[in-house]
Chain A
Amino acid sequence: MVKNSFIFLVLIGLAAILLNLFAGFNGSTELGTIAAHYASKGIEEVGSANLVTSVVVSYRGLDTLGEVTILFLSAAIIGFFLKVDNTDNKNRQLKYTSEILNTASQVLVPIMLLFGAYVFINGHLSPGGGFQGGAIIASGLVLMFIAQPKKEMGHKMINIVESVSGVSFVLLGVAGILFASGFLDNKILSLGKFGTLFSAGIIPIIYILVGLKVGSELTGIALSLKENQNEA
């Protein structure tokens, strides 16, 4: 109890610091110079209708590469950490899944996969993008595991998708150095007609790769956790 009140006091101290941090906060009224540049020049420079996408994939593309790497890392670590011997898998006792879940998943999973693909393909035009799309795809696959626990799904396919999309992402970045003005430069493809699917340079391609990569990584993580269940 004494300990908790001490923690409480320290957190009050931290709260005071945070309040001071935002003492000068009164809500922005104007965009900063950089943000304004993105808003006014973004279309001209990057060609993506979704400004967030142009920031994420193009202006701050290196961050996105890092972000993808983090997911990749987590998946690799969890895959290593939770690896189970194949022999154990055979003796697993699995719970019965309900008919409703089973049937519904058969309808939902394809739609979810499709929707995920839609979200990342259209990331430069509408809200969404590779991460969101990938997450939706992964959710679809997770739903499939839950509905059909007996269905084996190897890591092999996942790994290949992961690697191919990751390597392609890096290669696209290098292509930027070779064919345009810098790593991850968007302009190796023409920006195309604004607002159409095939526009905004390599953004759609990158988002497709990211979508595949995120989808496979999240699925991989979920798969590792699932395989580990019987050991618990």
Chain B
Amino acid sequence: MVGPIYIIAIALGTAFSLGFFKNANRNISFSLMFLAMAFLTFISGQWLYAFLTQQQETIQIFTAGFKPPFSISLQMGFHEAVFLTMINSLGLLSAIYLFDHLREKGVNMMMVFMLLFMGLNVVVMTRDIFNLFVFLEISSIALVGLIILEKKQDAISSGFKYLIASGVISGILLIGIVATYYYSGSLYINDLISANLSLVKGGSVAVFLIMIAVILELKPFPANGWALDVYQSVNAGIGPIISGGIATASLFILYKLLPIGGDAWLLPIGITGVISFLGSNFLGIKQKSSNRILAYSSISQVGLLMIIMSLSTSLGDKFEFVFFSVLISQYLAKAGLFWIAGIINKDEIDDWNILKKSPGLIVLVGIFMFTLLGLPPFPAFYGKWELIMNLSQSGNFVWVGIILLGSLFEAIYLLRWFGKILIKQDNLEDLKIKFHKLIPVIFVSFAILLFSYLTAKWSGLIGIKYYIPFIIALLIFAFDFLPVFIKNIAAISTVAWYSYVLIYQTYIPENDILRIVFGSIFLIGAIIMLIPGFTFKGKRQGFYPLVILMFSGLAGLIEARTTFQFFFAWEIMTLASYLLIIRGKNAVKPSFNYILFSMAGAFTMFAGFGLAFAETGSISLNALADVLVYANWAYALIAIGFLVKIAAFGVHIWLPSSYAEADDDVTSMISAILIKSGVFGLIILMLSMSLKNAVSPNIPYVLGWIGAIGALIGNMMAIYQEDVKKLIAYSSIGIMGYILFALSMMSHMGWLTAFTYSIVHFLYKGLLFLAIAGVIYRTQTRNIYEMGGLIKRMPLSFISVLIGIITLAGMPPLAGFAGKWMFYNAVIMKGWYLQGAIVFFSGIVAFLYCFKLIHNIFLGPLKDNHRKLKEASIWWLIPQFILIIGIMVISVYPKIVVEPIGQYLSMYFPNDGLVWDGTTASTRLGYWDATKIMTVFAGMFGVLFIILYSMSRKTQLVEQFNIVFQGERPERPETTHYAHNMYAPYNKALGFLTAPFITSAWKFVYESIHSISDQVRKFYTGNGQTYAMHIIIYVVVFYLFINGGF
């Protein structure tokens, strides 16, 4: 193997000899530099390989022919090899990326580039503290050179700020080093570690100065204004070198020197990390420049890594896993984003929608951002999981809270940025992409995918089965050039196959009713909802991989056996659904609301799982039942995650506009299927936790109220909507309120209701959205008052909507009534009369919007421009009629569904169940026979139909267009339409109930965060002197903090 010392020799030799080529062809000098960089990468890579495979021992390299401490020695061990490989491969990729810049600027910059990486290499390897100082200076001076790669005014002034700040920091380091030498008589790091300087008077201060200087090199918040300005002003090709190269090496310095400070330094470093993580992310949310956002994000990630480092002892053998998964993800993703920023060459994130021109890059941006956010399946997810679990276990709940809050802030600015890319805009400029700039970006994205796989394997948390959906998604993505028709068939058959495996082969034999019911809703529902996809023309790029991921996430929830698997699937599903929603025409803002609420919910869930783990030490889902001490907290935190997903009252504001703006078939998927994941989650949670006495009964009681209010408000809001999709969306909030209310009753009948409602809601909500989608597809409008009289044009859709609303309204004879009947029974048995009354009342409100749907869309006069409309496409109708059949079957024979569920629930709630006698179900309050009712209804309907039909012969037909407007033509004719603002009188009476105070409240929170962030960031004055001042204040305050005085 090539010895590590050759890294120095080759890098320096190349840099020095580049001087010969000053006037020669720059391609030659660039090739020389590139070869040297490649050789550096090769050397470090082969050592890494040796450490990974051949059980290579750590080696020491002596210089000058003497042993340490008399001479400077280097060390090459596993950690060194990892860091060096990271740094050098970054150098190689950066060289490719900067190819044209370096060539244009000439040999001097190539030397500087080369020396920067040489410096970092020695910094990582050296075991001599003064040598470390010298080579650290080399790197920072080289950076000063690269800052002015483009001699822009702001780059020059930020370079000066950097010089002052790093000058002060290295001065502090130097004082620390000489003092350390004085107290220990050595500069060899191993000697310093064994010298136990902290015990010597003055020696502890020397250690303090070294440690604080190293911490300052990591640019901790808030003593980092200089670094932020540098990040913002440099060429985007330099950004990765700072965040992935210098910051990585600085982290290694901290890691290397930490033993000198000893364990006493762990806590201060952790606190520094926490402040950095939270502070940077908090200030990041107000930023508009892409480079500056990345700067804040880099600093926050370094903060996170400092936190992890401070926990090295308590993380034990998981430390390396957590540290490297977070470090490498941040290193790769940050580099990718910086490079893409350079390709786009637009500093304002508002201008990033130029990327619309190259969708491939958008996919890459997505991968990078989700990697940064630590979403699955990307590596940092696993690391963050272990971190939170560990922090919880050691009782650091405040830290957990802070980390999750900081992550949420990070999500705000990264996802908003992502959304801005997708905003549609005409007349975009062309995006010129140089090929050599694309190579590194593609390389890191592949590296991320590979590393994701490796981390998943390394983590041992999930099995090979979990990769399958990703492989399928990737396959479909690879074949994205195929037409929709083929891809749709592929997607349907995949889901069909999987539902066969999951439901028929696994859960039906196990008779696990809960999983059969929800598995069917998720997967068979998926098949039904995919059918309309056949109407789409073209390629629908990117749609099918996401659909597969979303449904695999849902299937993953069903299959999850541990909290980790559950959370993994949950995040996959959330992420994929977010990306599906954002594909809608104006869906950028609504989907942002959706993902923010979902992330916040997921984080509370995360914290809840952490609490559960803290107590039981197990990540099994069943172990949730053993949580006793933290039961209330864990329960509430986990429940919040599910409540967000079912859009419970208070966290419901994301739902209406997300549903409205998503593509029509996506809306059907999320409203009929996805939303049930929250119900499923709540059932899992309640089954394992609520049945024990550990959880206070007050929590279900509160949940019951939330459900009741949600039912009322959702339905109230629905009746005023002019947008038909919003109307159905609000009605979903209402129905989810029922289900939540039913679940929180914690009784047999309540749960039976909830299960039945879940199934029935799936059927009719899917039906309604599909039917309405078919109508919207034809009429090209979502405003109800622009429709009307469509019964003649679209009779089949009319039948669907009719059946849908009858079921929704819970009127006999259809299945909705079954739910309602059980619901009444449950409420009366439970004795929640007040809440029950609210829910009953909201049921009546539901009639109003049901009427609106059927009347305003299908009855009345036909609009002029709709006279030639055709019935909805067959691909919209087929799934509708499948659902109608489902409704009919359950309406006539509810027993086939309700009885097994009842039996299942008897395991948990043995009392007060339904008693079946033939087709008659009875409780102690009464009985109900759906089959009889249906027979009677059918008979009555038949009789009435015949009578009415015969009467209709006698009436005189009035043409639908036989309506004459008289008088003046109003400015907006539609406002005079009866369907416009239909329920205005009710609005006058009960409008206060629907005032958007929840929306205003959330808006207030959101805006306050932003304005506080805006105020706080003002201390970064932009003046280099102030930044130097911050550094010295930081030192003094830190000293006071550590020593409690001077």
Binding site for B on A (CB under 8 A): 7, 10-11, 13-14, 16-18, 20-25, 28, 32-35, 37-38, 45, 58-63, 65-67, 69-70, 72-74, 76-77, 79-81, 155-156, 159-160, 162-163, 166-167, 169-171, 173-174, 176-177, 180-187
Q: Are A63 and B141 CB-contacts (below 8 A) given A10-B1032, A17-B1046, A73-B115?
A: no
The reply to whether B134 and A70 contact each other, CB–CB distance below 8 Å, is yes
Whether B794 is near chain A, meaning CB under 8 Å from some CB there, is no
Whether B72 is near chain A, meaning CB under 8 Å from some CB there, is yes
Q: Are A14 and B64 CB-contacts (below 8 A) given A34-B70, A70-B134, A170-B9?
A: no
The reply to whether A186 and B64 contact each other, CB–CB distance below 8 Å, is yes
Please measure, in the bound complex, the distance between the C-alpha atom of A80 and the C-alpha atom of B111, giving whole angstroms: 11
Q: Within 8 Å CB of B126, what residues of A? A: 62
Contact of B202 among A20, A70, A169 (CB under 8 A): A20
Please give 5 more A-B residue pairs, beta carbons under 8 A apart, in addition to A70-B134, A70-B141. A32-B186, A60-B71, A163-B17, A166-B12, A182-B66
Please measure, in the bound complex, the distance between the C-alpha atom of A13 and the C-alpha atom of B1043, giving whole angstroms: 13
Q: In chain B, what residue has the closest Cβ to A21?
A: B205
The reply to whether B65 and A73 contact each other, CB–CB distance below 8 Å, is no
Q: Within 8 Å CB of B64, what residues of A? A: 58-62, 176, 182-186
Determine, out of B175-183, B414-422, B480-488, B943-951, the stretch whose residues face the partner at the interface: B175-183
The reply to whether B1036 and A23 contact each other, CB–CB distance below 8 Å, is no
The reply to whether A23 and B63 contact each other, CB–CB distance below 8 Å, is no
Can you list 13 A-B pairs, Cβ within 8 angstroms, ordered by A?
A13-B1039, A14-B1035, A17-B205, A28-B182, A32-B186, A59-B64, A59-B70, A69-B12, A77-B141, A160-B19, A169-B16, A184-B64, A186-B65
The reply to whether B202 and A22 contact each other, CB–CB distance below 8 Å, is yes
Q: Within 8 Å CB of B128, what residues of A? A: 60, 62
Contact of A184 among B63, B142, B148 (CB under 8 A): B63
The reply to whether B63 and A61 contact each other, CB–CB distance below 8 Å, is yes
The reply to whether B70 and A159 contact each other, CB–CB distance below 8 Å, is no
* B1000, chain A: closest CB distance, angstroms: 41
The reply to whether A70 and B1035 contact each other, CB–CB distance below 8 Å, is no
The reply to whether A38 and B70 contact each other, CB–CB distance below 8 Å, is yes
The reply to whether B9 and A173 contact each other, CB–CB distance below 8 Å, is yes
Whether B112 is near chain A, meaning CB under 8 Å from some CB there, is yes
Interface of chain A, main secondary structure: helix
Contact of A11 among B138, B179, B185, B1032 (CB under 8 A): B1032
* A224, chain B: closest CB distance, angstroms: 11
* A136, chain B: closest CB distance, angstroms: 23
Q: Within 8 Å CB of A22, what residues of B? A: 179, 202
Q: Are A34 and B185 CB-contacts (below 8 A) given A73-B112, A184-B63?
A: yes
* B514, chain A: closest CB distance, angstroms: 64
The reply to whether A60 and B13 contact each other, CB–CB distance below 8 Å, is no
The reply to whether B1046 and A16 contact each other, CB–CB distance below 8 Å, is yes
Please measure, in the bound complex, the distance between the C-alpha atom of A77 and the C-alpha atom of B5, giving whole angstroms: 26
The reply to whether A170 and B22 contact each other, CB–CB distance below 8 Å, is no
Q: Within 8 Å CB of B9, what residues of A? A: 170, 173-174, 183
Contact of B145 among A69, A76, A173 (CB under 8 A): A76
Contact of B66 among A35, A59, A79 (CB under 8 A): A59
Q: Within 8 Å CB of A156, what residues of B? A: 22-23
Q: Are A10 and B201 CB-contacts (below 8 A) given A38-B70, A62-B64, A182-B64?
A: no
Question: Most chain-B CB neighbours within 10 Å: which of A38, A76, A162, A169?
Answer: A76
* B729, chain A: closest CB distance, angstroms: 56
Question: Most chain-B CB neighbours within 10 Å: which of A7, A79, A80, A186?
Answer: A80
Whether B206 is near chain A, meaning CB under 8 Å from some CB there, is yes
Whether B288 is near chain A, meaning CB under 8 Å from some CB there, is no
Whether B209 is near chain A, meaning CB under 8 Å from some CB there, is yes
Q: Within 8 Å CB of A35, what residues of B? A: 185
Please measure, in the bound complex, the distance between the C-alpha atom of A184 and the C-alpha atom of B66, giving whole angstroms: 10
Q: Within 8 Å CB of B882, what residues of A? A: none
The reply to whether B12 and A73 contact each other, CB–CB distance below 8 Å, is no
Q: Within 8 Å CB of B66, what residues of A? A: 45, 58-59, 182
Q: Within 8 Å CB of B138, what residues of A? A: 66, 69-70, 73
Determine, out of B102-110, B450-458, B572-580, B920-928, the stretch whose residues face the partner at the interface: B102-110
Q: In chain B, what residue has the closest Cβ to A42?
A: B70
The reply to whether A72 and B13 contact each other, CB–CB distance below 8 Å, is no
- Chain B residues 79 to 120 lying within 8 A of chain A, measured CB to CB, are 105-106, 108-109, 111-112, 115, 118-119
* A3, chain B: closest CB distance, angstroms: 9
Q: Which 8 pairs of residues, A with B, have the shortest CB-CB distance?
A: A32-B185, A166-B16, A163-B19, A24-B202, A185-B65, A77-B145, A13-B1036, A80-B108
The reply to whether B19 and A33 contact each other, CB–CB distance below 8 Å, is no
Q: Are A13 and B1046 CB-contacts (below 8 A) given A166-B19, A184-B63?
A: yes
* B951, chain A: closest CB distance, angstroms: 93
* B128, chain A: closest CB distance, angstroms: 8
* B138, chain A: closest CB distance, angstroms: 6
* A56, chain B: closest CB distance, angstroms: 11
Please measure, in the bound complex, the distance between the C-alpha atom of A170 and the C-alpha atom of B7, giving whole angstroms: 11
The reply to whether B65 and A163 contact each other, CB–CB distance below 8 Å, is no
The reply to whether B1032 and A17 contact each other, CB–CB distance below 8 Å, is no
The reply to whether A10 and B112 contact each other, CB–CB distance below 8 Å, is no
Q: Within 8 Å CB of A34, what residues of B? A: 69-70, 185-187
Please measure, in the bound complex, the distance between the C-alpha atom of A58 and the C-alpha atom of B64, giving whole angstroms: 6
Please measure, in the bound complex, the distance between the C-alpha atom of A202 and the C-alpha atom of B18, giving whole angstroms: 25
* B4, chain A: closest CB distance, angstroms: 10
* A90, chain B: closest CB distance, angstroms: 20
Question: Most chain-B CB neighbours within 10 Å: which of A10, A61, A62, A163?
Answer: A62
- Chain B residues 121 to 147 lying within 8 A of chain A, measured CB to CB, are 122, 126, 128, 130-131, 134-135, 137-138, 141-142, 144-145
Q: Are A160 and B20 CB-contacts (below 8 A) given A60-B131, A62-B131?
A: yes
* B504, chain A: closest CB distance, angstroms: 69
Q: Within 8 Å CB of B878, what residues of A? A: none
Contact of A70 among B18, B137, B186 (CB under 8 A): B137
* A45, chain B: closest CB distance, angstroms: 7
Q: Within 8 Å CB of A66, what residues of B? A: 119, 122, 131, 134-135, 137-138
The reply to whether B65 and A187 contact each other, CB–CB distance below 8 Å, is yes
The reply to whether A182 and B70 contact each other, CB–CB distance below 8 Å, is no
Contact of B142 among A62, A63, A65, A73 (CB under 8 A): A73
